[in-house]
Structure 1
Amino acid sequence: MARPRVRLVVTADDFGYCPRRDEGIVEAFLAGAVTSVSLLVNGAAAESAAELARRHRIPTGLHANLSEGRPVGPARHGASSLLGPEGFFLGKMGFREAVAAGEVVLPQVRRCGFRKMLVVRGELEAQLSRFRELLGRDPTHVDGHQHVHVLPGVCQVFAEALQACGVRFTRLPMERGVGGCAWLEAPARAFACAVEQDARAAMGPFARHGLRSVPPTAYPCPLRPAAVPLMPRHLQVDRCLRGPEHLRPAHVRSPRVRGTG
């Protein structure tokens, strides 16, 4: 029986973080190894990255950021539960701890049985607006920097904001078996497992608001959605080769991807 055709989508996030990183992402796109990007609109190089995306016609989504750098919305004008004393977001773990402690809220309103985090909604809407200013259109998709979009409570507000602006696609970071990845250090494995648990809980809110993503069981062949940690300290060839063992060239049918290995 013929193997089903698979379209491999490779999204480079953190576009707009810094010029050197952006240059590498564009090079990968032009080589056919990357198919889309996710833009950090509060990144130091957001404007130049947007120009690169326009120039090279790169499919571009929003990399919603609630954990790193400075906000672009109303929070930047004063005290906010999203920010530390210096006016920066609380960080990867700091934001998670604040959400878990119920601190990332303005006066709460109840609607349909959930608590709406107004300060989060305001920042998400501001980032969507900034994206439109930079690109002149809506994002093709929206995902979350450091997976903030699947956190409890945040996922509901995230889904509402995307539905309101007509965005239909996001990412559910559900890598099956990540807990058994010996090539990841223990803290990274624990974080990945927590993210997967949050992502499973976010499936309901996302579906109710019409958001689509690639389900982890979509493929009968060994190819399945995966993310390989490629932050600077993980950028070793042997680590990258050991990680995605289930990704095999024989399963890739996209002409943009073939021949790029």
Structure 2
Amino acid sequence: MLNFIFESDFHEMLETLFPPPPAEGAIAPPVLSEVRRASRFRRAFPGRAADRARCRFVRVPGGAPAVPWETRRMPQPRLLLVITGDDFGYCSRRNQGIVDCFLAGGISNVSLLVNGSAAKEAADLAKRHEIPIGLHANLSEGTPVCHILQKSSSLTDHRGFFHGKMGFRQSLERGQLCMKQVEMELRAQVKRFVELTGHLPNHMDGHQHVHVLPEVRDVFAQVMSDHRIRFTRVPVEPGLHSCQWLPEHLHTFYAQVEKDALDSMAVFRQNGIRWPDVYLGLTTMGQNMSVPHLQRALRLALAAGQMGEPSSGACVTAELMVHPGYPSHPQEGGCGEGPDDFSQSLERQHELSVLSDPSMAALLSQEKVQLCAFKDL
């Protein structure tokens, strides 16, 4: 149910967000940043995060503070969009960037790496800011959560680390991975998620798309079904093959991800697992993220979703995968073996800037896109 703000509440909100000036001679309180004002607004007016995410903070001429101008649902949206910030828990800087992006209205959902070095901090931040959170199951980077597998496992190399994005796939192709150990690790990660957050994940997907790989997808679906986790990610993106700015090696890798994802649909469906009508994010990652590219993606999502039978009646649903944040410092963070180049890249901050920019909010409004979280679908 939406929160309606009555006049008395509105004045209380203004006093909460913007305290009156101090009496003469008194020490003035520190000025709150827009992000902190947004956080204070959340605490003052609790409710569904998806409803609060619809608030837009606008700055009036003359540098006056930003104030929320809308708390209602968008009338007749064409697209319900989950924007998921992946890799929450990777390090403190990534965590802070993801939180700032959420508070600025740039994302509506996060996905937690429970073996990340800052996973507990991330879970605490999600609780504090009421950020909808799911599990980013990790079988390819860092160290296992399952204590038994930390000693010896087909999932790890001689140093005790997972085999990596491509190494995991190569080991799978060679038949070197034990699916029972995959199951043990996935169940351990779900358990750790519950320990950190106090609840089951709203959704569960795989770091570096490992959850759609052959054999792994069957185990993944069974674990999700056993825990009654309803939603996952199926990375099949409209417009991928016609995208002109992706280099050949990424086209090749993404084409294989897409094939694996298509093959995983029947397995997920048999286990009662759902996913949004459309997936986005491969063509708009890192330096390729821009408002024009996002507009292209959203329009392709609408066209693709309307060709089928939308899962939410007349409204198409979609997930946009993003990786915002402040770049990791060398030797700080990661999942057990330090931060990788991806997390240290300035592209993480570029994504944060694009998603938080007012032009992004304008685009969503123009295209009649309503932000939501998996738990709202």
Which of 90, 97, 107 is equivalent to 1:24?
97
Which digits, 9 at most, give the CA deviation of each residue in 1:138-172, with x for residues without a partner? 00000110000000000000000000011010010
Which of 148, 164, 178 is equivalent to 2:240?
178
- 1:94–1:24: structure 2 CA closer, same or farther, 3 Å change rule? same
* 2:107 is equivalent to residue 34 of structure 1: yes
Contact 1:179 1:190 in 2 (8 A): no
Match of 2:298 in 1: 247
Note the C-alpha offset of 1:247.
Answer: 2.3
Which digits, 9 at most, give the CA deviation of each residue in 1:13-70, with x for residues without a partner? 1000111111111011111111010000000110111110010010000000000010
Q: Which has the higher contact order (CA 8 A, sep 6+)?
A: 2
Distance in 2 between the 1:127 and 1:43 partners?
11
- 1:76–1:65: structure 2 CA closer, same or farther, 3 Å change rule? same
- 1:178–1:97: structure 2 CA closer, same or farther, 3 Å change rule? same
Contact 1:5 1:253 in 2 (8 A): yes
* 2:222 is equivalent to residue 160 of structure 1: yes
- 1:26–1:229: structure 2 CA closer, same or farther, 3 Å change rule? farther
Match of 2:161 in 1: 88
- 1:161–1:99: structure 2 CA closer, same or farther, 3 Å change rule? same
SS in structure 1 opposite 2:201? coil
Note the C-alpha offset of 1:75.
Answer: 4.5
* 2:201 is equivalent to residue 147 of structure 1: no
Query: What amino acid maps onto 1:24 in structure 2?
Result: G
Question: CA RMSD for the aligned pairs?
Answer: 2.2
Query: What amino acid maps onto 2:161 in structure 1?
Result: F
Mind listing any 5+ residue stretches in structure 1 that lack a counterpart?
106-116, 217-224, 257-261
Note the C-alpha offset of 1:7.
Answer: 1.2
Contact 2:240 2:282 in 1 (8 A): no
Note the C-alpha offset of 1:255.
Answer: 6.7
SS in structure 2 opposite 1:210? coil
- 1:181–1:121: structure 2 CA closer, same or farther, 3 Å change rule? same
Aligned length: 234
Contact 1:183 1:242 in 2 (8 A): no
Contact 1:17 1:43 in 2 (8 A): yes
Distance in 1 between the 2:288 and 2:265 partners?
33
* 2:316 is equivalent to residue 227 of structure 1: no
Distance in 1 between the 2:196 and 2:146 partners?
15
SS in structure 1 opposite 2:80? coil
Alignment of 1:92-171 (within 5 A): 92-105=165-178, 117-171=179-233
Query: What amino acid maps onto 2:230 in structure 1?
Result: R
Which digits, 9 at most, give the CA deviation of each residue in 1:148-205, with x for residues without a partner? 0000000000000000011010010001231332211111111111000000000011
Q: Percent identity?
A: 47
Alignment of 1:4-83 (within 5 A): 5-83=78-156
TM-score (norm 1): 0.83
Distance in 2 between the 1:211 and 1:7 partners?
19
Distance in 2 between the 1:34 and 1:163 partners?
27
Match of 2:42 in 1: none
